[in-house]
Amino acid sequence: MPNDHYLYVPSLGKELQGCPPVSITGSYCALRCKHCNAKILERMVPAETPWKLVKVVEELHKRGAKSVLISGGSNQWGQVPFEEFVDAIKCIRGLGLRVYMHTGLVDEYRAQLLKEAGIDAALIDFTVEERVVREVLNLGVAPENFIDSVRNLVRFSVRVVPHIVIGVYRGEPSGEKRAVDALKSLNPDAVVLVVFTPLPNTPFGNCHPPPPTYVSEVLKYARYSLPNTPLSYGCMKPHRESYQLLEIEVIQLGFDGISFPSYSTVEYIINENIPFRVLQECCAYIAVQK
Ligand code: SF4
């Protein structure tokens, strides 16, 4: 099985493995968003049937996994098609594993199914920018569908952790502050901010990430606008030196979590005696531990 998320931190004496992502659609995605083109699915463990999902997760469990991230490509309506997997997810929960799930858009019926499945948190890429929905996500729905999805999950008491991809529109400002504003009244359990990072062999492969100054502006805006919401600086972000200072900045801003920090950030945390916990878990854990 692939083992992408791996970090060795000598000063902690720990070898860290992340929460392994599993795709219930294998490498298939009907949307093929321009920033991804289904490339992220290639790094996941395929489990296209409920039976295979249970077997794959049982194997991960035997190898010591405490949680799993169930993901997959979307259908043409922007939904990860998990409807047939509800019993399999219940079975995984029965093993004692925490289950995080990329859901895509969620209507009332799907929210109810997720409640029944007993997942620990639903993760949804969140935007209110029409050109992002239409031109980046290749979706023919109104941005209000993203707001409704979060609302439906909250209504059915499913923990929800929206993700905002800073600069997802070709690395340009992409309505991130309006997305933060919309989340203020929706009361999500946590919010994750990530940074558009061009992937090879995607339509946006030649674009650049948003400049660090812009990322910094959005991170500050999110922290000040959502003072009581757990915030995490998530997995997708450029790891170039010019972006590493942003990791220190989120710590100083009081973010609650940071995924795959660079070595210099780990050193900073240790040298400054900042209390921390190392978790081999999806960054949405900040919503679960509340
Ligand atoms: S829906 Fe998800 S998997 Fe499919 S292309 Fe978009 S980001 Fe990638």
- CATH code of the domain containing 240: 3.20.20.70
Residue 81 covered by a domain: yes
Closest-CA residue to 71 (of 96, 47, 97, 98): 47
40 lines ligand 1 (CB under 6 A): yes
Neighbours of 200 (CB within 10 A): 8
Q: How far is the CA of 72 from the centre of ligand 1 (A)?
A: 8
Please check whether residue 75 lies inside any domain of the structure.
Answer: yes
Residue 280, pLDDT score? 77
Q: Is residue 1 part of a domain?
A: no
Question: Residue 214 in contact with residue 165, Cβ under 8 Å?
Answer: no
Pairing assessment for the beta strands 14-17 and 6-9 based on DSSP bridges: antiparallel
Dihedral in degrees, nearest 10, Cα atoms 173, 126, 133, 222 = -20
Atom number in ligand 1 closest to CA 32: 5
Domain of residue 142, residue span: 6-288
Q: What integer best gives the mean pLDDT of the chain?
A: 91
Report how far apart, in Å, the C-alpha atoms of 145 and of each of 164, 168, 222 are.
15, 18, 21
C-alpha separations of 287 from 20, 46, 151 in Å: 18, 26, 16
Whole-number pLDDT of residue 168:
98
List of the chain residues with pLDDT < 50: 1-6, 15-16
Does the beta carbon of 31 lie inside 6 Å of ligand 1?
yes
Q: Which two tokens stand for residue 270?
A: 């240790």
Test site for ligand 1: of 24, 34, 35, 36, most ligand atoms within 8 A of the Cβ: 36
The alpha carbon of 36 and the centre of ligand 1 are apart by a number of angstroms equal to 6
Ligand 1 contacts CB of residue 92 (under 6 A): no
Q: What is the pLDDT of residue 66?
A: 87
Q: Kindly state if the Cβ of 41 falls inside 6 Å of ligand 1.
A: yes
186 within a domain of the structure (yes/no)? yes
In a domain, 104, yes or no: yes
For 281, other C-beta atoms within 10 Å of its C-beta total 21
pLDDT of the residue at 47: 97
CA–CA distance, 140 with 263 (Å, rounded to integer): 41
- The answer to whether position 96 is within a domain reads yes
Q: Identify the pLDDT of residue 12.
A: 54
In a domain, 91, yes or no: yes
Residue 5, pLDDT score: 45
Taking the CB of residue 201, how many other CB atoms lie within 10 A of it? Answer: 9
Report pLDDT for 13.
Answer: 53
Angle between helices 144-155 and 108-117 (to 10 degrees): 40
Return the closest-CA partner of residue 142 out of 133, 154, 155, 152. Answer: 133
Indicate whether 174 belongs to any domain.
yes
| 278 C-alpha to ligand 1 centroid (Å) | 29
Q: Give residue 271 CA to ligand 1 midpoint distance, Å.
A: 39
pTM of the model: 0.92
DSSP assigned state of 240: S
For residue 187, give the amino acid letter: N
Burial bucket for residue 290 (CB in 10 Å: 0-12, 13-18, 19+): exposed
Q: How far is the CA of 62 from the centre of ligand 1 (A)?
A: 29
Counted domains in the chain: 1
Spatial distance between the Cα atoms of 290 and 285, rounded to a whole number of angstroms: 9
